[in-house]
Amino acid sequence: RLLLGILTTVIYSQFNKYFPLSGILSEEYQARSLLSKLLMMIITGKLALWRYMAVWTFAEATFVIMGISYNKSLSTPEYTDWTAVYNVNFWNNETSITLQ
């Protein structure tokens, strides 16, 4: 979880220079074509979402390190479950086709 948080933070910090949230309100954005506006809005929105997902994954990693997220009811001798404090599933969020 910690590595995923670091990865999303690095991606956000690198691409936020080119797609800032304030860019959607700029005059330059208003002068673009519709397709360009939509593409910029999708990328900017995805980056904003990744910023929050990075914070959530950092929080989950902190709980794992502290031992708070140990889930005794789902753990077996072969498998230790650390999902008692599980906020966001990054992969499912990025690949889902519905909001349910």
At residue 100, the pLDDT reads 66
The domain total for the chain is 1
- Domain hosting 61: range is 2-95
Per the domain annotation, does 100 fall within a domain?
Answer: no
Number of H helices, E strands in the chain: 4, 0
Residue 73 pLDDT? 75
Q: Does residue 74 lie within any of the structural domains?
A: yes
pLDDT in tens, 28-59: 888 889 998 899 888 888 888 888 888 888 88
Give the pLDDT confidence score for residue 34 in this predicted structure.
Answer: 92
**Angle (deg, nearest 10), helices 34-66 and 2-15:** 150
Q: What's the whole-model pTM score?
A: 0.67
Residue 39 identity:
L
